[in-house]
Structure 1
């Protein structure tokens, strides 16, 4: 039987991995009793809108990949289709409030404020660094989905 990360790697097109990630993220919100709105077209700068605590938040879904033995990473820019098969790479700043990241390697879900995200690629560390460094580290426990969702529910 194949593990999750192998199944993701076996999806031939990046769009299929993205669709799988979006479904997993939608399900994560649904089981937490959070309404999820989906745009009618796929050319919006966000993938979902959720209503939490009476407020709406635009969400860009991302799939994490292994960066090292201690980290996973995700791209903080999106490639959007423009006219005549050209592509444009744009950041989410001002176009979404959160990245909802699915990590198929560890089966984790993260909710990362766009304002916290690095430009281009963001690494999330799920193991303590061997040198004990803490400054400048994006620790996984700071972005775990359930905890961040509880933060959004607070007034």
Structure 2
């Protein structure tokens, strides 16, 4: 499965869960925007970026940047609060969705550390 297909599955799972919770979900036309979905909670519209997580050393890791290719070169760009309101991360391994604050950690720990560290 290619990365586009993996991403589509994550977006589909996120949409399903949002609909189950009663949110209205809109999909913007085209794929050149910094967000994947618009979510309406009845009061406000939220621009949502969807990401896929993978398990790495007892953590869920995900790309917190957009990655594109231009003229054969990979270009990555971080998201900021002027572009998106919410980042939702889907883990196919755990079948869970996490809301991650914009500009924060790239790893979500779900297993205890080997050295017992509890902070940072």
Same fold (TM over 0.5): yes
Residue in structure 2 matched with residue 75 of structure 1 by the alignment:
63
Determine which structure has greater relative contact order: mean sequence separation of CA pairs < 8 Å that are 6+ residues apart, divided by chain length. 2
Structure 1 residue runs of 5 or longer lacking an equivalent are 1-10, 137-155
- Aligned mates of 1:81, 1:26 — CA distance in 2: 27
Residue in structure 2 matched with residue 102 of structure 1 by the alignment:
90
Structure 2 residue runs of 5 or longer lacking an equivalent are none
- TM-aligned CA distance change 1:51 to 1:85, over 3 Å: farther
Q: 2:75 aligns with which of 77, 85, 88?
A: 88
C-alpha displacement at 1:128, in angstroms? 2.4
Aligned residues: 119
C-alpha displacement at 1:24, in angstroms? 0.5
Once the two structures are superposed, residues 23-42 of structure 1 have per-residue CA deviations (whole angstroms, 9 ceiling, x without a partner) of 00000100000011111011
C-alpha displacement at 1:53, in angstroms? 5.0
CA-based RMSD: 1.8
C-alpha displacement at 1:134, in angstroms? 2.1
Greater helix share, 1 or 2?
A: 1
- Aligned mates of 2:119, 2:4 — CA distance in 1: 35
CA contact (8 A) 1:43 1:81 kept: no
Once the two structures are superposed, residues 33-91 of structure 1 have per-residue CA deviations (whole angstroms, 9 ceiling, x without a partner) of 001111101110000011125111111110001111x2110010012465x66653211
